Amino acid sequence: MTTETIFKSKESYARKRIERWATGMLLTSACISIAITALIILSVLFESIQFFEKVPLFDFLFGLEWSPQTALRADQAGSSGSFGAVPVFMGTMLITIVAMSIATPFGIYSAIYLSEYASRKFRSRVKPILEILAGIPTVVYGYFAVTTIAPAMRGFGSAIGLDISSESALTTGLVMGIMIIPFILSLSDDVINSVPNSLRDASLALGSTKAETVTKVVLPTAFPGIVSAVLLGVSRAVGETMIVVMAAGLAANLTINPLESVTTVTVQIVTLLVGDQEFDSPKTLAAFALGLSLFVVTLILNIIALKIVKKYKEQYA
Amino acid sequence: MLNLLERFKKLQRAPKAYKKLMKRKRITNKVTASLKKRRAKETRLKAYGITAISISFLFLATLLINIVGNGYTAFFQTQIKLPIEFSENLVENDNYRKIIRNSLEEIFPDVEGRRDKKDLGNLISNGSPYVLADYIKENPEYIGKKAELWVPASSVIDMFIKGNISADADESRRKINDKQISWLNKLESSDRIKKAFNTYFFTSGDSRDPEMAGILGSFVGSLLVIISCMIVALPLGVMTAIYLEEFAPKNRLTEFIEVNIKNLAAVPSIVFGLLGLSVYLQLFGVPRSAPLAGGLTLALMALPVIVIATRTSIDAIPQSIRDGAMAVGASKLQTTVHHVLPLAMPGIMTGTILSVARVLGETAPLLMIGMVAFIVDIPQGFLDASTALPVQIYLWSDSPEMGFAEKTSAAIIVLLLFLITANALAVYLRKKFEIRW
């Protein structure tokens, strides 16, 4: 048999058909990820549009008062409740700022120490232990925040003459910050490690100390990567739910004082949707509008972060 | 004036080498002077690093010690031994409450008055009648006979025996009165009180009574969620990864899929909950609180983790393996199924276990689809209403009863043990099957 006859044989034909069929299957499953994203956007968008038919977009984005609960009394005049999301957004921002101002320095300094100073042995022992922090479910952090950190902070506050609310943004942000440390740590550890050694050697050869090499050569080189790590950290802090549901407040206070209680987007989504609800009341739909804003913000943060990482990789690969 | 002129002349006469020496000396002086500062900076940077790491450690240690310290007592339970008479007509009428009352009267014949009798009855758990009913179901030969049985004490008594309620406090401010304490002392002196292993914690569902509440219901719920999640996510994830690594042409679509998966990995979990609520529950009509809905929702979260893990392990397989298979006439599909996939298996397993760990700890999306309810029964199937382990933790942490505080910590211990086991297994598998090319 010549090769030509083999290729024309029935067996070969069947083989090609299976091949094509399998490739099609694989492509379909790969496309499902796109379908999921589309489904998220469509479902959340659909409910949000219904919401914005009842509450104008402008009122939602720039209104200063958030009290969706009044919408329950449908028989009352002016029963629409107020859906100004600014206090909710501000609360989320406040907690995120507190969390990031803890997670960023702690994460980066730990990463610097582990990748530049620590011995191999120290690193291989310490890193997995720190990664335990990342593996602890957030509900555990929430419980710990409520039962231990909040009373401790309150006690500390009264000892130095400050009135710290037991649901303060400070407590919540603190615990959330610690949750995010290992996240920032491992991302910035990666970028610091991918800075080529030739740069370090050149700097050391010119007589600079190790610290100078780190702060003047390694960190500036790794800066885009670190920025993207921080952005991803912010996106986690914004979307974090259980810690804030358990440890932050429910009332929407418009304040920038971290000692007071504030509420967040995720807390509001949970409180609006847990329990029985009608699907077409503005109260329920408001949760989807909040969800949409959450999705958009985190998506933008992620896209920027991924772009930076990609650019950075191209530069030093 | 003269002085200056002389110095100028001297300098002019000085040899070049001398000038150079002076310059070097100036530089050396400057460097030496700054060295102290530079070294201090070095020490500072190191100190910051160590401080940051130790604070993280400290937090982790505090968290673990706190939770284990508060939670381990929940694995033990105060039980009281009662002389139980299973008289025939009471058993037939299912009046086990009366049986317990009778046996308490037998131990404390001198307790009179409605109030005192009620206080006496409150020593024993509200769940005890069910304990007796179960006992009779298993040992029907005891009907009409007498037996000495250990029944669980009520939660308040349990807390008192464990020392969480102090007897020194003012009587009006504690949940247990002086008479009850004296009865307890009497029971203790006749060896009718013991602290036993709390089997109810592992064998029963949720309960309004802390002493009878267990994690089995939520654990089974979690198991069902994980099974339904992995049935969907594992094949989809592996197939996606295979496509992207082995088959995908380099084009716009492939790039778009890749970016999509990366973004999906970073979408907040609660958004997946919103999707589950509006698509699975409203559109497809999956019953509320069903593990199936939970599993399908969490599958969306597990998918990117599995895809990324599978891709990494496929990526590590050298091209020579594929070329070898191709050279002996295997088709692309045969190469993938017979060679690439088996070699990538350890990596896929590790990724799967890690995603199971992630799914097991996830709470927020489950709140959205209503898996947060008081459910006593242990779920029997994928459509039964149920909770999950982390949701149970959330529910108990919200309960005002003191007895639930230790239960919450104990449930956290169980959850963490599962997570540690899963991660250890992943590390073990990675170490055992790791192939260095």
Please check whether residues A97 and A234 belong to one and the same domain: yes
Residues A35 and A121 in one domain: no
Distances in whole angstroms, Cα of residue A278 to Cα of each of A45, A81, B46, B276: 18, 16, 57, 16
More confident residue, B188 or B223: B223
* pLDDT value at A72 more than 70: no
Cβ pair A36:B300 closer than 8 A: yes
Write out the E strands in chain A: 66-67, 82-83
Q: Which of A30, A110, A141 sits opposite B53 (nearest CB)?
A: A110
| pLDDT per position as a tens digit, B92-136 | 888 888 888 888 888 888 888 888 888 888 889 988 888 888 888
A149, A260: one domain: yes
pLDDT tens digit sequence for B229-243: 999 999 999 999 999
Q: Note whether B259 contacts A266, CB cutoff 8 Å.
A: no
Q: Which fold has domain B216-433?
A: MetI-like fold (1.10.3720)
Number of domains into which chain A is organized:
2
For the beta sheet containing B146-152, the strands, ordered from the edge strand earlier in sequence to the opposite edge, are B146-152, B76-85, B193-197
Percent of chain B with pLDDT over 90: 42
Quick check: helix, strand or coil at residue A117? Answer: helix
Same domain? For A229 and A125 the reply is: yes
Q: Supply the pLDDT for residue A179.
A: 93
Q: Taking the domains of chain B in order of start, what are their residue ranges?
A: 2-71, 75-209, 216-433
Provide the pLDDT for residue B42: 92
Q: Please report which confidence band the pLDDT of residue B430 belongs to, taking 50, 70 and 90 as the band edges.
A: confident
CATH of the domain at A273: 1.10.3720.10
Which residue in the set B247, B363, B397 is minimally distant from A138, CB to CB?
Answer: B363
A69 in any annotated domain:
no
For the segment A105-129, the average pLDDT, to the nearest whole number, is 92
Question: A104 with A29, same domain?
Answer: no
Helix or strand or coil: residue A64? coil
pLDDT at B4: 73
Please state the pTM of the whole predicted model: 0.89
Mutation pick from A21, A25, A28, A29 vs chain B, by most beta carbons of B within 10 Å, is A29
Q: Under an 8 A CB cutoff, do B67 and A140 touch?
A: yes
> Residue B356's pLDDT is what?
93
Q: Is A15 on the interface with B (CB under 8 A)?
A: yes
pLDDT average, residue stretch A236-257 = 89
pLDDT at residue A202, as a whole number? 95
Which range, A106-115, A119-128, B170-179, has the best average confidence (pLDDT)?
A106-115
Query: What's the pLDDT tens digit per position in B402-417?
Result: 889 999 999 999 999 9
Q: What is the mean pLDDT of residues B21-48?
A: 90
What local confidence, expressed as pLDDT, does residue A4 receive?
61
Residue A77 C-alpha, separation from nearest chain B C-alpha, in angstroms:
30
Out of A113, A139, A294, whose CB is closest to B393? A139
Please, which residues 67-106 of chain A have a Cβ atom closer than 8 Å to chain B?
105-106
pLDDT for the residue numbered A71 = 45
How large a percentage of chain A has pLDDT more than 70? 90
Distance CA A277, CA B133 (A): 39
Q: Are residues A33 and A99 in the same domain?
A: no
Give the contacts of B286 (CB within 8 A, at least 6 positions apart): B280, B292, B293, B296, B383
Q: What is the mean pLDDT of residues B392-396?
A: 94
* pLDDT confidence of residue A80: 55
Q: What is the pLDDT of residues B152-184, one digit of tens each?
A: 999 888 998 888 888 787 777 788 888 888 888
Residue A74 lies in a domain: no
Range of the domain at A98: 82-316
Shortest CA distance from B373: residue in chain A: A275
For tokens 């009648």, the residue is: B129
Shared-domain flag, residues A20 and A94: no
- In this prediction, residues A13-30 reach a mean pLDDT of 87
Are both A86 and A18 inside the same structural domain?
Answer: no
Average pLDDT of every residue of chain A? 87
Contact call for A105 and B50, based on CB within 8 A = no
The predicted structure's pLDDT at residue A11: 65
A191 with A134, same domain: the answer is: yes
User: Could you tell me which of A233, A216, A232, A192 has the C-alpha nearest to residue A100?
Assistant: A233
From chain B, the residues in CB contact with A237 under 8 A are: none
**B250-294 tens-digit pLDDT:** 889 898 998 889 888 889 999 999 999 888 988 888 888 899 999
Whether A198 and A100 share a structural domain: yes
Give yes or no for residue A306 having a pLDDT over 80. Answer: yes
The domain boundary residue, chosen from A34, A54, A74: A54
The encoded tokens of residue A22 equal 């399998």
Which region among A5-9, A156-160, A271-275, B348-352 has the lowest average model confidence (pLDDT)? A5-9
pLDDT at B131: 87
Residue A252 in any domain: the answer is yes
Q: Residue A77: pLDDT above 60?
A: no
Gap between the Cα atoms of B416 and B414, Å rounded = 6
Q: Which residues of B touch A173 (CB under 8 A)?
A: none
Is A63 within a domain? Answer: no
- Residue A113 makes CB contacts below 8 A (sequence gap 6+) with B46, B48, B49, B50, B52, B53
Domain assignment present for residue A66? The answer is no
Distance, in angstroms, between A292 CA and closest chain B CA? 8
Chain B residues whose CB is inside 8 A of the A130 CB are 53, 56-57, 60
Q: Hey, which residues does B85 pair with through a beta bridge?
A: B146
| Record: contact A31-B333, CB cut-off 8 A | no
Interface of A with B in 116-175 (CB under 8 A): 117, 126, 129-130, 132-133, 135-144, 146-148
